[in-house]
Structure 1
Amino acid sequence: MSTLFNLPDETPAPPAGDRRSSVADLNAIIKRARDIMRKDSGLNGDIERIPQFSWLLFLKALDAQEEDREDFGTGPFRPLIEAPYRWRDWASCKEKQRRTGDSLTQFVNTELLPYLARRSGSPELDVIGTIFKEVQNRMRSGYLLRSVVDAIEGIDFHAQDEVYTMAHVYESMLQELRDAAGDSGEFYTPRPVVRFMVRMTAPKPNETVLDPACGTGGFLVETFEYLRKQYGKELSADAAAEIDANLRGIEKKSLPYLLATMNLLLHGISRPNLTLDNTLRHPIASHRHQRVDVVLTNPPFGGEEESSVPKNFPTDKRTTDTAWLFLQVIMERLTEGGRCAVVVPNNILFEGGVGTKVRKAILDNFNLHTIVRLPNGVFAPYTLIPSNVLFFDRTGPTKAIWFYEVPLPEKRRNFTKTKPMNDVHLAELEAWWGGPERSGRVTTPHAWRVPVKELNDEVDLDLQNPHQKDELAHRDPSELIADLIESEQELLTLLQQLQREFDGGQQ
């Protein structure tokens, strides 16, 4: 049975052989649909094709769930979507009843999408209405749209194994969307980093978990997977249902909101607790009334908000840099004993002015127990800005900070798009971590401890590993040049890909 709005029982992954076959079949369907969309003049690149595919996929999946509810549910059945707006009515109906060409585009644009945008009155209906308030059909050809719909018909959302497989195929599509988005690609955080942050904060089933800039929902999906794996057999039906409400995300852009909703639904989060909103537009004091146990996030790097947003923050901590604003929100959102893991750019560790004041506020009011310094290229080629993960909790002021510098693999100068970071690169760090209590930590060539009293007046946290020489200063110039060439080649490859997408869209 489908799982979109009812929490599924623990379902084992299909055997590897079956999964490979199913993945191949689903990839073939997706490729066929995307090849068809490439022919439509209204769609330019995957940045538009993947969202178009996603809302169609959502309607197909939802209709399968509705059929299961009608056939196997208890009590009176009330459809979330009524005829003639159900997928079965206009998409998978008999040949004589199928719309195509101008008839199909007119129906979708003037009847179907406005109807869906008006749905409200229950949590499920609110999800549908919120998604479709922002959805547009960008396909101009009703004949090509019909072909895409027919391709999606090949996906069977009644089969749990197929839903499981589709969730993982969909994740790969989201990574492609990051690739296609270029310098707007703020939708995707590398999964090894996300999984590590989730494991080290170790959320519990009864705890509230928030991502205030959730993008496509990666942190929430990985938290859900972690909870099901760690506690699945111990959860009562009520406790399992509570998890959905406890996983909370806020996203201000309609495209990633749509993608996140679909992502969470496919992974079995039955009622995605997502809000289409700008976290930063609310007065900072208001966040104190919505505190949570855990915050997991990667807020936008270097973004700027409209001039009215900084006015929501204390006068001495106002800035248009979104990273600093999100840090202030996180501090207000954490309950007593709450904990956080947040990805930040390098300037957060040393920037003066507002930066110094925010860092002092963290150290005075929170235990900033660990700073993980990520190696070069984790987010390449989309940004080459060095990144870090801050781990802190509301358990009292910071007395000392552990730094851990994740090393690059041997003979590697940086991670790249074609050779990215994976889970094994964080295994040594996880072994050093010391479990939930962070016990038994020791100084190593990659780890060192700094008492707060040794920091300077600016609380500069951009500290060099005392066990390592300044590698940049002692490296051969030819190696530095090779690094620059490799980075430029990555960027050139991305630009050439975007150019091909653009040229294809103009044909």
Structure 2
Amino acid sequence: MITGEIKSKVDAVWDAFWTGGISNPLEVMEQITYLLFIRRLDDEQTLALNRANLLKKPITDNPFPVGQDYDGRDWEDLRWSRFKNMDAAQAFEVVDKRVFPFIKDMRGEDSTYAHFMKDARLTIPNAGMLQRVVDRLDKIPMDNLDTKGDIYEYLLAKIASAGQNGQFRTPRHIIQLMVEMMRPEPGDRIVDPASGTCGFLVATTEYMRANYADAISSGAGREQYHHDMFHGFDFDNTMLRIGSMNMLLHGVEQPDIRYRDSLAQASNDDAGAYSMILANPPFAGSLDYENTAKDLQQIVKTKKTELLFMALFLRLLKPGGRAAVIVPDGVLFGSSKAHKELRRILVEDHKLDAVVKLPSGVFKPYAGVSTAILFFTRTDSGGTDHVWFYDVQADGFSLDDKRTPLLDEGKLGVSGVLNDHEHAKNNLPDVLKRWFLRDSSELEQQRTEQSFCVPKDDIAAQGYDLSLNRYKEIVHEEVEHRTPEVILDELDRLEKEITDGMAQLREMLAGGAA
């Protein structure tokens, strides 16, 4: 867990950028990502040298060449451990003119990180600012894997707190809930078609390390975990760089993080390739038919991105594959032909498992849109017997723009173990608990409760409307009011008490004056 001392050191790095004139939080994050990558290369070089010395063999897997370049300059100068001790002007010259061009020339065949660093550009304007940033970054401990990941997550959280581009971050506790509900396992191929900073994939790595450490630490399990388990697509190169570094600092050697417009025609080469989808795509706007994959239009004929992404999820999943995705409420009850057809497909042609309604303040202060989490399984042969609904009313944080933590909000642990919580403050632990009872005791829940199941026939009869309020029953308590005569008598009594009190006060004042 990141300590207050480390947070203050990270804050100092962030402040060095802001006081130096770089105030765009994404640019700050991008520059920090480059520098962390450079520091990571130095750590890899040190490991390679130690391995070579131990085995008494020539160094073969080092990131930096050995010796001197064509101009007779020492390659060692490109290492973090070397240039951090140079004077400011010399270090700036080396980093700007040599280190960054070196990163650009690194080929992506061996590393997804190197591939996305090929457009790296130093935007730190002067030697003094670079020296301050490097000195402050160097003071942050990056030896422990968990600490590395926590530090980077804290940096990403600062993008949101800076008040810009907060839409790139789904709240971490919501991501964690979805991962715990899905329970990924070794062998799963997990994809996020709008990966951004790779928050869903990172949360999955934490879950895997907490629950399957032995299975992913050696042999075929380790190979699959590091090279084939995690897949993320985005068409923003900045997000790809940040997301790739996020995965690297969480210990995944070679995730498949790629540039891709997931809804485009050219991206139709991995249908049925994945066993799990975890996503919160950018549901906004419309697309031109010409820019959209034709097979998605065959599933649901629409220009609405939220519906096209749902069609994409069904295409990417293999039969038996499962998805947990955040959707705007319009997907649940939209009245267009495309909306109704998509919901019919989910219920009749596949297995719709659950609809978890989220409070409208979950994404504040950046958006007040109402959302829900849909859980479904691709079957191609139906299988929906009933759908489980849960009405989340509290997620452990205030639902205003400040989103301050509430007392006793409880906490979801990546091991699947829940701490004690106050139900009224945070429903998320209860969601997780009841999710695994949806085929047993939850079937007996009345529709007046916070969670309940609805048979498929009832949903079909309502035109496949999936809004929770369509099925939830509200019980109105009978309240007995006093009769008007009784209320008037009470007012007379109160008025007499006030009159008598005022009379006593006058007598006391008159006595005092005398």
The two structures share one fold, judged by TM-score above 0.5: yes
SS of match in other structure, 1:372: strand
Q: Which residue of 1 aligns with 2:200?
A: 219
Separation of aligned partners in 1, 2:186 and 2:151: 27
Separation of aligned partners in 1, 2:291 and 2:249: 34
Does residue 59 of the first structure (1) align with residue 49 of the second (2)? no
Separation of aligned partners in 1, 2:320 and 2:153: 33
Does residue 154 of the first structure (1) align with residue 139 of the second (2)? yes
Q: Which residue of 2 aligns with 1:323?
A: 306
Return the letter of the residue paired with 2:177. Answer: F
Cα deviation, 1:335-374, whole Å, max 9, x if unaligned, reads 1111110011111111223222222222232100110011
Does residue 123 of the first structure (1) align with residue 110 of the second (2)? yes
Structure 2: unaligned runs, 5 residues or longer:
67-72, 413-420, 478-514
Separation of aligned partners in 1, 2:222 and 2:18: 41
Does residue 300 of the first structure (1) align with residue 306 of the second (2)? no
Does residue 449 of the first structure (1) align with residue 453 of the second (2)? yes
Q: What is the aligned counterpart of 1:336 among 285, 298, 319?
A: 319
Structure 1 segment 256-271 matched on structure 2, within 5 A: 256-271=239-254
| Closer, same or farther: CA 363–409 of 1 in aligned 2, 3 Å | closer
Greater relative contact order (Cα < 8 A, sep 6+): 1
Does residue 92 of the first structure (1) align with residue 77 of the second (2)? no
Separation of aligned partners in 1, 2:76 and 2:195: 29
Q: What is the aligned counterpart of 1:209 among 190, 195, 213?
A: 190
Q: Which residue of 2 aligns with 1:137?
A: 122
Cα deviation, 1:407-463, whole Å, max 9, x if unaligned, reads 33799776852237764521111221126x844323151122222322357422123
Q: Which residue of 1 aligns with 2:418?
A: none
8 A Cα contact 1:63 1:88, kept in partner: no
Q: 1:53: how far off? A: 1.5
Q: Which residue of 2 aligns with 1:440?
A: 441
Q: What is the aligned counterpart of 2:149 among 155, 160, 167?
A: 167
8 A Cα contact 1:284 1:332, kept in partner: no
> May I ask how many residue pairs the two structures share in their alignment?
440
Q: 1:278: how far off? A: 1.7
Return the TM-score normalized by structure 2. 0.77
Separation of aligned partners in 1, 2:244 and 2:397: 40
| Closer, same or farther: CA 277–181 of 1 in aligned 2, 3 Å | farther
More off after superposition, 78-87 vs 361-370: 78-87
8 A Cα contact 2:44 2:62, kept in partner: no
Separation of aligned partners in 2, 1:291 and 1:153: 41
Q: What is the aligned counterpart of 1:112 among 99, 107, 111?
A: 99
Separation of aligned partners in 1, 2:401 and 2:431: 17
Does residue 366 of the first structure (1) align with residue 350 of the second (2)? yes
Q: Which residue of 1 aligns with 2:501?
A: none
| Closer, same or farther: CA 80–202 of 1 in aligned 2, 3 Å | same
Return the letter of the residue paired with 1:440. Answer: S
Separation of aligned partners in 1, 2:307 and 2:321: 20
Cα deviation, 1:8-37, whole Å, max 9, x if unaligned, reads xxxxxxxxxxx66xx344333322222221
Q: What is the aligned counterpart of 2:7 among 22, 27, 49?
A: 27
| Closer, same or farther: CA 354–110 of 1 in aligned 2, 3 Å | farther
Separation of aligned partners in 2, 1:301 and 1:432: 28
CA-based RMSD of the aligned residues comes to: 3.1
More off after superposition, 398-407 vs 211-220: 398-407
Q: Which residue of 2 aligns with 1:376?
A: 360
Structure 1 segment 64-83 matched on structure 2, within 5 A: 64-72=43-51, 76-82=59-65
Structure 1 segment 223-238 matched on structure 2, within 5 A: 223-235=204-216, 237-238=218-219
8 A Cα contact 1:345 1:388, kept in partner: yes
| Closer, same or farther: CA 277–104 of 1 in aligned 2, 3 Å | farther
Q: Which residue of 1 aligns with 2:260?
A: 277
Separation of aligned partners in 2, 1:236 and 1:141: 43
| Closer, same or farther: CA 169–412 of 1 in aligned 2, 3 Å | closer
State percent identity of aligned pairs.
24
Separation of aligned partners in 2, 1:348 and 1:247: 27
Q: Which residue of 1 aligns with 2:393?
A: 407
Q: 1:168: how far off? A: 0.9
Cα deviation, 1:159-186, whole Å, max 9, x if unaligned, reads 33xx42232122122112123353x323
Does residue 190 of the first structure (1) align with residue 171 of the second (2)? yes
Return the letter of the residue paired with 1:127. Answer: Y
| Closer, same or farther: CA 335–49 of 1 in aligned 2, 3 Å | same
Q: What is the aligned counterpart of 1:417 among 386, 389, 403?
A: 403
Q: Which residue of 1 aligns with 2:376?
A: 392
8 A Cα contact 2:264 2:291, kept in partner: yes
Greater percentage in helix: 1
Return the letter of the residue paired with 1:384. Answer: G
Q: What is the aligned counterpart of 2:472 among 466, 472, 476?
A: 466
Q: 1:85: how far off? A: 9.3
Q: Which residue of 2 aligns with 1:11?
A: none
SS of match in other structure, 1:402: strand
Cα deviation, 1:41-69, whole Å, max 9, x if unaligned, reads 3x223232122112211211231122112
Q: 1:234: how far off? A: 4.3
